[in-house]
Structure 1
């Protein structure tokens, strides 16, 4: 039994039955009461009442990557991703949990997510600093910066950019399982010609379906007036119960979420580091 947890919302016994595979794991999770992840960097420890320690044999040719199944069985923080999203709702939806798991595992194998590495991307994807991790919010949650104006709408290979976005998500859960992230959409000097709905929708869908539980909240920084209607539309892509996780900030209000020593000087902070 792990450490005491002062604030609990529910206990879930989560037995995954992948379709059409066999049962391969059983976990008991204690979920925290916090809905958006601002207060707790990590989900509290798991209370293990049932655990299958060894993976079932996954036959070649099935819908899932055997390495993903092994990670699900071996890394509890990875397994918890698939029920963390339930904190946004009022009740545990077992069928939804099964569906999200199945969709995620199928998508991962189809897109060879487990095999992604830096070698797959041109150097300028990293050098342009359009999407990158840097610093933390006030609760020590990592910040993933997405500078909208850098990837030029209509001039990029969107499928390659989507893989690069996935690569960043994947690096986070691989190196820091159980750690949530804040996405900081930087809209400075951004107009309608920069805003690629296809890429933004991919980010939202990935967080809701393929990386459930990864997102703590989103910050939209310095939204231009011309993009207000666009971001109202984007917000509707989120489930109703998660829309409050989108925060619109400027140079005066961003310090409510990120301390000045974690903000670059061009955003009004004092951090000396550059991307």
Structure 2
């Protein structure tokens, strides 16, 4: 696949300001949303509404409906209240973690390793994914609102993934975290993954599908995708990079996540709403 358009983020002004054509539509969405609670209003900044509009191709009513569903989901699911200690069991094998490096555009990187699946609970797996997404968003730099996923298929077989969990994953990410994915790199997916990909593709909207790149370590053309996006000196050796010190260490990662929980939420069990200013909502 070509990476000409997928790996290049928008310009600085496009990342920090809503597209001009959305300015009036943002106000229309606000009008349709009606009165909001203080908590819900934290997730309805101009930038957030612009992302929902982008996800629905500028359609005001569809974007409003989507955002309302997210507000309802956040009220019920309370993703901002998930703490490291609750989901640390899911994290023990490094099946999802935020890398120490960013890409060349400052985007946080979530590394995913399906072969490291270590639990049987779909609910626990989704809750862990949500925690990882919230943490990555909290760590976005001021000029950036998207992230990169690096999915490593080393040791993968079909027993490591579930169609049910994959469907729910696609639903949560597309419906409640629109336009947060900048690029997803599938690194060395085996032939046996192809039938699964065919099953999952219908559940992905076209925009999401177009952000997926297949990269193979023995293909110099596809390897250039990573070279264009990453400083190879910082990228893990597992992905063809030169950094041999960045492999996952659970104890060190647990310390990082506890520090993040303390940094963003303090010692309280429920987050202070002001912390979500950093979420870009």
Specify which structure has the higher proportion of strand: 1
The answer to whether 1:273 aligns with 2:246 is yes
- Tell me which of the two structures has the higher relative contact order, counting C-alpha pairs closer than 8 angstroms and 6 or more residues apart: 2
Residue 112 of structure 2 aligns to a residue whose secondary structure is strand
CA shift for structure 1 position 97:
0.7
CA contact (8 A) 2:111 2:151 kept: yes
Aligned mates of 1:83, 1:140 — CA distance in 2: 24
Structure 2 unaligned spans of 5+: 1-11, 249-281
Aligned mates of 2:128, 2:185 — CA distance in 1: 20
The 5-angstrom pairing of residues 143-154 of structure 1 reads 143-152=109-118
Residue 230 of structure 2 aligns to a residue whose secondary structure is coil
Equivalent of 1:81 in 41, 51, 58: 51
Name the structure 2 match of 1:12.
23
**Alignment TM-score, normalising by the size of structure 1:** 0.71
Name the structure 1 match of 2:234.
262
CA shift for structure 1 position 170:
1.4
Name the structure 1 match of 2:105.
139
The answer to whether 1:158 aligns with 2:116 is no
The answer to whether 1:174 aligns with 2:133 is no
CA contact (8 A) 2:187 2:239 kept: no
CA contact (8 A) 1:219 1:249 kept: yes
Aligned mates of 2:127, 2:13 — CA distance in 1: 40
Name the structure 1 match of 2:92.
127
Residue 171 of structure 1 aligns to a residue whose secondary structure is helix
CA contact (8 A) 2:107 2:146 kept: yes
Equivalences, count: 222
Aligned mates of 1:140, 1:174 — CA distance in 2: 13
CA contact (8 A) 2:147 2:182 kept: yes
Residue 223 of structure 1 aligns to a residue whose secondary structure is coil
1:141-188 superposed Cα distances (whole Å, 9 cap, x missing partner): 211111101114xx4211011111001111223343752011222111
Specify which structure has the higher proportion of helix: 2
Aligned mates of 2:72, 2:238 — CA distance in 1: 42
CA contact (8 A) 1:68 1:114 kept: no
1:14-45 superposed Cα distances (whole Å, 9 cap, x missing partner): 133588x7345xxxxxxxxxxxxxxxxxxxxx
Structure 1 unaligned spans of 5+: 25-57, 59-65
Name the structure 2 match of 1:32.
none
Aligned-CA RMSD value: 2.7
